[in-house]
Amino acid sequence: MSDDASRSPKKPPAAGLSKGLTSYGDTDFSLFLRKAFIKGAGFTDDALARPVIGIANTGSSFNPCHGNAPQLVEAVKRGVMLAGGLPMDFPTISIHESFAHPTSMFLRNLMSMDTEEMIRAQPMDAVVLIGGCDKTVPAQLMGAASAGVPAVQLVTGSMLTGSHDGERVGACTDCRRYWGKYRAEEIGDAEIARVNDQLVASVGTCSVMGTASTMACVAEALGIALPGSASPPAVTADRIRVAERSGTVAVALAKSRLTPDRVITEKSVENALRVLLAIGGSTNGIVHLTAIAGRLGIPVDLARLDALGRETPVLVDLKPSGQWYMEDFHHAGGVPALLRVLEPLLHLDALTVTGRTMGEEIAASGPGFPQEVIRPLSNPVYAQGGIAVLRGNLAPGGAIIKQSAANPKLMQHEGRAVVFENAGDLAARIDRDDLDVTADDVLVLKNIGPKGAPGMPEAGYLPIPKKLARAGVKDMVRISDGRMSGTAAGTIVLHVTPEAALGGPLAHVRTGDRIRLDVAGRSIALLLDDAELERRRAAHPVTPPTAERGYLKLFLDTVTQADQGVDFDFLRAPGRK
């Protein structure tokens, strides 16, 4: 083995293995020591002289949505080596929705800090981010945006659908639908157990247009993931090929120094919002995109979002807004096919990680073919974008509703508030037969916002009270300061800002108050005069929650509201809070 490189008297360039040397007060010795250690793993000087491509490996036994991570890492490495780079995979935090207590959103910012600091700390010229489950892609993009190292997002891909008694099923819209049937006593223990076996038919992310699929499409629309990379299912050859190409592109990025701030721009963020609206994407996508853009000082204004929503129809016919699954979206051409339809509404000069513009990538994707999943602008699934922004005295800082997945009959509704003070109160009373509630009432849940729960859990999908579910009630107007799963559907008002735990108006709603929802008029109103609201505020002042130590203290002291992306205030780009 040659030692020529390590004996060289020349100063190391600030790239490859020489980047970000550990401080010993002698840079030549730092590099000498680093190479000595890595050579313990059998590397040659030739390998160590190559551009170093980090691979953020979020494989974990607790994360079946990332169950194909080993195969993806192998394929990325192949792509990197074919292009002449040196692949180096490293672990970061991994978060799965069902294996994160108290809620995955509580940990998203921690994962973003882990990702940012590991990209900064270790010598890499570019990085491939392997994520997939809901919070992981946002966390990785937030971290990579802050770290400023060229980055490519690689999603793990969706799971396959299963079959229950001949009916196609997939997580997690069908999880909720069957659980609703079980709660309503339409099906029993034996059937719900059989359904449980079928909902998740393989590794990969949820098979509908939930948050994971939404963020996969958003990443592609941002230009930070390869064209066509959002939709291949986790267990397909297409997914492995995307991984190999991501590795190859990362080597080119290491040479071109195309950093995330040149890819994620005001134009690409707006392209991503258009795509989010056109896919009937998850409401969580708004929070995550706001947080990602906020790391680069790009505001996501709710008024602008609503304006885009009014002129961007839902075109992708996937559950929960429509009928198909992610693998169907892939077979229909995926995001490139959608971008072709949306082309008149997009900023075509936005740059992507391929080094080409969005317009050039659309032109390269070909003419398309007849299919039923991605509709033309002339025949949308839903005439407006999936998400509408509401304002009013109940939500001075805004609230949102996924109108494409709501009940049209409830879009204009006035009803009596039935209030639950927190998630514990909801769990204790929602199924009691003596709960005073009718189908026309408005269910209100407080204290599940960013600070309230804490971590803004997906508890905004309040269950229909059991006695009403048994009577056949499928939907009611529900309001909270929390989030809901992107796989859920219903007439559900979310992200009420400011949250109850900060003393927002929501904190002072009482059972018996009247609430009016008017989605067409974009308003959510508590029918109470200002003087009475002020009296209640004075009589019951709210003290925001605090903690003594640890990550919980950091979270409660610095987390922002939903309209700021629920990021920590000190992580957003300077000058913006």
Site of interaction with ligand FES (CB under 6 A): 65, 96-97, 133-134, 171, 205-206, 210, 212
CB of 458 vs ligand FES, minimal distance in Å: 10
Here the tokens at position 38 are: 């890595």
> With contact defined as beta carbons under 8 Å apart, do 291 and 566 qualify?
yes
Give phi and psi for 128, each to the nearest 5. Answer: -105, 125
CB of 473 vs ligand FES, minimal distance in Å: 27
Give phi and psi for 31, each to the nearest 5. Answer: -70, -40
CB of 138 vs ligand FES, minimal distance in Å: 12
Query: Which residues lie across from 316 on neighbouring strands?
Result: 374
Q: How far apart are CA 154 and CA 242, in angstroms?
A: 8
Residue pointed to by tokens 């009373």: 429
CB of 55 vs ligand FES, minimal distance in Å: 20
Complex with ligand FES: residue 87 or 162, whichever CB lies closer: 162
Of 195, 340, 339, the C-alpha closest to 272 is 339
CB of 212 vs ligand FES, minimal distance in Å: 3
Complex with ligand FES: residue 175 or 254, whichever CB lies closer: 175
Angle between helices 237-256 and 69-82 (to 10 degrees): 50
Give phi and psi for 126, each to the nearest 5. Answer: -160, 165
Complex with ligand FES: residue 115 or 205, whichever CB lies closer: 205
> Which H or E run includes 551?
helix 550-558
Complex with ligand FES: residue 265 or 485, whichever CB lies closer: 485
Complex with ligand FES: residue 206 or 453, whichever CB lies closer: 206
CB of 78 vs ligand FES, minimal distance in Å: 26
Complex with ligand FES: residue 135 or 446, whichever CB lies closer: 135
Q: Are strands 167-169 and 442-445 parallel, antiparallel or unpaired?
A: unpaired
Please tell me the number of Cα atoms within 13 Å of 437 on its side-chain side.
Answer: 29
Complex with ligand FES: residue 162 or 504, whichever CB lies closer: 162
Angle between helices 284-294 and 266-278 (to 10 degrees): 170
> With contact defined as beta carbons under 8 Å apart, do 400 and 286 qualify?
yes
Q: Is the dihedral of CA 284, 335, 242, 233 positive or negative?
A: positive
CB of 135 vs ligand FES, minimal distance in Å: 9
Of 69, 364, 362, the C-alpha closest to 240 is 69
CB of 205 vs ligand FES, minimal distance in Å: 4
CB of 155 vs ligand FES, minimal distance in Å: 10
Please tell me the number of Cα atoms within 13 Å of 365 on its side-chain side.
Answer: 24
CB of 206 vs ligand FES, minimal distance in Å: 3
Complex with ligand FES: residue 109 or 205, whichever CB lies closer: 205
Query: Cβ atoms within 10 A of the Cβ of 307, count?
Result: 13
CB of 414 vs ligand FES, minimal distance in Å: 35
Q: How far apart are CA 112 and CA 115, in angstroms?
A: 5
Complex with ligand FES: residue 234 or 464, whichever CB lies closer: 234
Please give the single-letter amino acid code of residue 270: E
Of 98, 317, 318, 285, the C-alpha closest to 208 is 318
CB of 96 vs ligand FES, minimal distance in Å: 6
CB of 230 vs ligand FES, minimal distance in Å: 13
Complex with ligand FES: residue 200 or 226, whichever CB lies closer: 200
One DSSP character per residue, 128-193 reads EEEE-STTHHHHHHHHHHHHTS-EEEEE--BPPPEEETTEEE-TTHHHHHHHHHHHTTSS-HHHHH
Complex with ligand FES: residue 92 or 205, whichever CB lies closer: 205
One DSSP character per residue, 411-426 reads SEEEEEEEEESSHHHH
Complex with ligand FES: residue 63 or 115, whichever CB lies closer: 63
> With contact defined as beta carbons under 8 Å apart, do 232 and 242 qualify?
yes
CB of 200 vs ligand FES, minimal distance in Å: 8
In sequence order, which ranges of 186-301 are alpha helices (DSSP H)? 189-198, 211-222, 237-256, 260-263, 266-278, 284-294
Complex with ligand FES: residue 239 or 508, whichever CB lies closer: 239
> With contact defined as beta carbons under 8 Å apart, do 87 and 247 qualify?
yes
DSSP class of residue 511?
A: T
Complex with ligand FES: residue 65 or 500, whichever CB lies closer: 65
